[in-house]
Amino acid sequence: MADKPSVLFVCVHNAGRSQMAAGWLTHLAGDRIEARSAGSAPADQVNPVAIEAMHEIGIDITAAQPKVLTVDAVEASDVVITMGCGDACPIFPGKRYEDWKLDDPAGQDIEAVRKIRDDIRSRVEQPLGELLPD
């Protein structure tokens, strides 16, 4: 069987947006797509409000840990989706990159984080359809 496609979500702290995106992709695609996330300057822990917002819709990201972005992670991914990490993300020829303009959930209340969570879901559905055959 061919390797399954993989998507790497990257933000600065790997504590909110990228963790929620990876959670959504895993939830929506199951094991058909590998979802990874990393940060250019990872935080100590995942944002508790992001965990709460995902928990409300039945997605558990409590086990997720912020990870540092590595060249290997980028090279091993089919699609790299950045969320405000700017020039910190290494660029490789032949990789597909997208940059999502999303508010950072850090320091925001649950209402604001719910909006970000729902925005991420609609964005995750697009690469999902492109990476999976019908």
The residues annotated as belonging to the active site are 11, 85, 89
Q: How many residues does the chain have?
A: 134
Residue 36 has which token pair? 């990874």
Residue 53 has which token pair? 């917002």
- Closest Cα partner for 85 from 64, 104, 112, 113? 104
Compute the distance between CA of residue 60 and CA of residue 71 in angstroms, rounded to an integer: 27
